[in-house]
Amino acid sequence: MAANVPVSATLERSELLVPECPAGIGAVILAPDSAELIDGVRIEPLKLWPDDRGYFLEVHRLGAGLTAGFSPQTVQISAAFAYPGSIKAFHFHLQQTDCWTPAEGMIQVALVDLRARSRTHGARNTLYVGALRPWQILIPPGVAHGYKVIGSGAAMLIYATDRLYNPDDEGRLPYNDARIRYDWDTQCK
């Protein structure tokens, strides 16, 4: 795996290209060190301590883990709550690196590499993360990302970013973009 610092990149919109993908969900990532992981995306299992009262989840230690290279002066930590079946997709950043921590429920994460010069341009990854697979995901600039809440309960996603929110840094694509052709339907029927 790559060094334990976030990917720093400044991309121009002209360096991004939405790929023409076959219908489907791309590579399902089952291990943090999967060879099919989009270049620059990194995964770490979360530190979680359960006991008979519930559990304690360590979200971030600034200066360590996936957010080791994030500057404490510019880190923003936010949370998103979504109901079962909700889809929040797709968006991407030109400069911002995201670090996602699913804190409650289960989500199906969809990633698409839009970076025209990336060795994994056009690759799609699907990760099933949350209570049953407590992983943290680092998403570099130029990788479109989104998720669907799966299961019968709501989901809470906590995310740290390496810079404060800037709407000019963000781009959006519809969840059902005809070029990406991501299949949000239940796969294991």
Task: Give pLDDT tens digits for 36-90.
Answer: 999 999 999 998 889 999 989 888 888 899 999 998 888 899 999 999 999 999 9
CA atoms of 170 and 58, how far apart (whole Å): 28
Residues 45 and 129 sit within 8 Å (Cβ to Cβ): no
**pLDDT value at 2 more than 60:** no
Would you place residue 9 in the very low, low, confident or very high pLDDT band (cuts 50, 70, 90)? low
The full set of domain ranges for the chain reads 26-163
Average pLDDT over residues 160-173: 95
Beta strands in the chain (DSSP E): 27-28, 42-45, 47-51, 54-58, 76-82, 87-93, 98-104, 106-113, 124-130, 135-139, 143-150, 155-161, 170-172
Topology, domain 26-163: Jelly Rolls (2.60.120)
CA atoms of 104 and 117, how far apart (whole Å): 35
SS3 of 167, please?
Answer: helix
**Mean pLDDT for the chain?**
92
**The two three-digit tokens of residue 36, written as one number:** 């099919």
Name 106's Cβ contacts closer than 8 Å, sequence gap at least 6: 128, 129, 130, 131, 132, 133, 149, 150, 151, 153, 155
pTM of the model: 0.92
**The two three-digit tokens of residue 51, written as one number:** 């006991």
Q: What is the pLDDT of residue 73?
A: 83
